[in-house]
Amino acid sequence: MSCLPLRCALILAPMLLLPAASRGQAPAPPAAPGPIPTASSMGRDVLDALAFGAKADGVTDATAAVQKALDAAGKTGGIVRLPAGRYLVAGSLRIPVGVALVGVQQAPVAIEPLIGTVVLATGGRDREDAPALFEMGSSSVVQGLTVFYPEQKIQDIHPYAWTFHLQGFDNTVENVTLINSYNGIRIGPEPNVRHRIRSVVGCVLRRGLELDNCTDIGRIENVQWHNHWWSATSVGGDWKVPFDYMAKHCEGFIFGRSDWEYVTNTFIFPTQIGYHFIATPNGSMNGQLCGIGADAANRCVVVDAIQPMGLLITNGQFVAFTGENPIEVVIAATAKGSVRLQNCDFWGPAAQNVVTHGPGFTSLSNCYFSSDHPVPPGKALVEADDGKLQVQGCSFGSDLPAILLGKGLKHAIVTGNNGVKGVAIINQIGDRAILTANEAAEIPVPTKKP
């Protein structure tokens, strides 16, 4: 029996969508690959650095040729492509306004082998104030490449200039891998606005990212610093040497003046100071940091200065155990603003978790505090001796004194906390402390009256 026209059409329609091979026909041969793009074939807005004389052999200095391509793109704005290969850059590259220097990597890459677009940098040795490898102004982009310093040796580490230096408006560094930079990314101290640092990873020996003089909202997202990127023998690396160097010298993220800063999903291991908030001639920072971490630190977070409206840290994870007297968060007496930590975890063999000498406000909410080692005599996991403190809804995972309210503290509210053996509070400020709804301590608590 024949089917109705509509039913036949519905039955045949899926068959018409099937590839020829599934209908019993031989598949069409694959299309021949197209020609490699060149400056002429890609058009005026996309230029190939090879067409300007750059050699991807890792031996010939490509600085002048790549700069020539960048300058050509700068006449109208556009893209300069660095095809896969190794480009020796013995000097500095200036990225003009409206120009993107783009390699082939679609994301950061693993420690070996050195494949894709690789820049071999040799400039700026022993001159930290020399021009950066990439000098970036407004509306400039560097994207999709790996940077390696071939003359930096694991047993003879030397200072180098910054790999990136950003100033001006709306510049972007994205999908970049740094194998062994001494100084990673510097933003400022020249005026800058709306920088974007995204998906950048690598080993940074002295400084990871330093920021100053941003007067509108900058964004730092998905950045990880780790000695692991300079551990492969194929790049002359080692695990232990950069670990020891970074633990003694490295500051992962340094924040000077920024009028709002959004920092998301960042991490450093190891480090002397993970996140350092400082005052510069331009001022200090306010901003929010979410999903941040520091491990193998001497200090995970140090707040030397902050704007009055302050600092918000949410979903942080902090482990301190390197160097002398490791402490995860230290707020200095010079930090007059508000520091608030929400839903953060502290663990490992730290001497203490949070120590604040700041005259402003400190708030710790819904955090987990612990240490694998006894805290120093007369101390506690959380200690405050100035300003005003709030500790609310936190858990203490160690059989140690939990909170020390030092005699210089102006006021404290400690409420709704619990612990493995209750919450041991050393109160040296008497009735200036409001202590309510905390789990009773099971260990003796020394008390000194003010």
Gyration radius from the chain CA atoms: 28
Burial class of 398 by CB neighbour count within 10 A (0 to 12, 13 to 18, 19+): buried
What's the CA gap between 195 and 173, in Å, rounded? 9
pLDDT at residue number 421: 93
pLDDT in tens, 14-67: 333 333 333 344 444 444 444 444 444 355 689 999 999 999 999 999 999 999
Give the list of residues 6+ apart from residue 12 with CB closer than 8 angstroms, or none. Answer: none
Q: Is 269 helix (H, G, I), strand (E, B) or coil?
A: strand
pLDDT at residue number 34: 42
Across 129-158, average pLDDT: 98
pLDDT at residue number 45: 86
Is the CB of residue 238 less than 8 Å from the CB of residue 264?
Answer: no
In 3D space, the residue among 141, 93, 142, 143 whose CA is nearest the CA of residue 121 turns out to be 93
In 3D space, the residue among 107, 134, 113 whose CA is nearest the CA of residue 58 turns out to be 113
Mean pLDDT over the full length of the chain: 91
In 3D space, the residue among 171, 94, 167, 78 whose CA is nearest the CA of residue 131 turns out to be 94
Q: What is the pTM of this model?
A: 0.89
Is the CB of residue 378 less than 8 Å from the CB of residue 406?
Answer: no
DSSP 26-48: PPPPPPPPPPPP-HHHH-TTEEE
CA 358 to chain centroid: 25
What's the CA gap between 151 and 161, in Å, rounded? 13
pLDDT at residue number 443: 65
pLDDT at residue number 98: 97
Across 313-317, average pLDDT: 98
Residue 270 has phi, psi (to 5 degrees) of -85, -175
What's the N-to-C CA distance of the chain in angstroms?
Answer: 101
Facing residues of 419 across strands? 396
What's the CA gap between 228 and 237, in Å, rounded? 9
Give the list of residues 6+ apart from residue 83 with CB closer than 8 angstroms, or none. Answer: 36, 48, 49, 50, 56, 104, 117
- Token code pair at residue 401: 């004194």
Output DSSP code: residue 439: P
CA dihedral 10, 12, 13, 15 (to 10 degrees): 140
pLDDT at residue number 227: 98
DSSP 205-252: EEEEEEE--B-S-EEEEEEEEEGGGG--GGGT--SHHHHHHHHHH-EE
Q: Say which residue the tokens 């709704």 belong to.
A: 416
Neighbours of 53 (CB within 10 A): 13
Q: Is the pLDDT of residue 6 over 60?
A: no
User: Any idea which of 21-25, 94-98, 174-178, 363-367 has the lowest mean pLDDT?
Assistant: 21-25
Is the CB of residue 222 less than 8 Å from the CB of residue 266?
Answer: yes
Across 339-350, average pLDDT: 97
Interior angle at CA 439, CA 435 and CA 443, nearest 5: 100
pLDDT in tens, 148-160: 999 999 999 999 9
Is the CB of residue 143 less than 8 Å from the CB of residue 175?
Answer: yes
In 3D space, the residue among 164, 213, 158, 199 whose CA is nearest the CA of residue 184 turns out to be 164
pLDDT at residue number 43: 57
- Token code pair at residue 330: 């230290």
CATH class for the region spanning 44-215: mainly beta
Residue 295: CA count within 13 A, CB half-sphere: 12
Facing residues of 434 across strands? 413
Cis, peptide link before residue 189, omega less than 30° from 0: yes
Is the CB of residue 385 less than 8 Å from the CB of residue 360?
Answer: no
pLDDT at residue number 13: 36
pLDDT in tens, 276-303: 999 999 999 999 999 999 999 999 999 9
User: Is residue 442 very low, low, confident or very high in pLDDT (cuts 50, 70, 90)?
Assistant: confident
User: Any idea which of 30-39, 366-375, 438-447 has the lowest mean pLDDT?
Assistant: 30-39
3-state SS, 144-199, equals: EEEEECCCCECCECCCECEEEEEEEECCEEEEEEEEEEEEEEEEEEEEEECCEEEE
pLDDT at residue number 2: 39
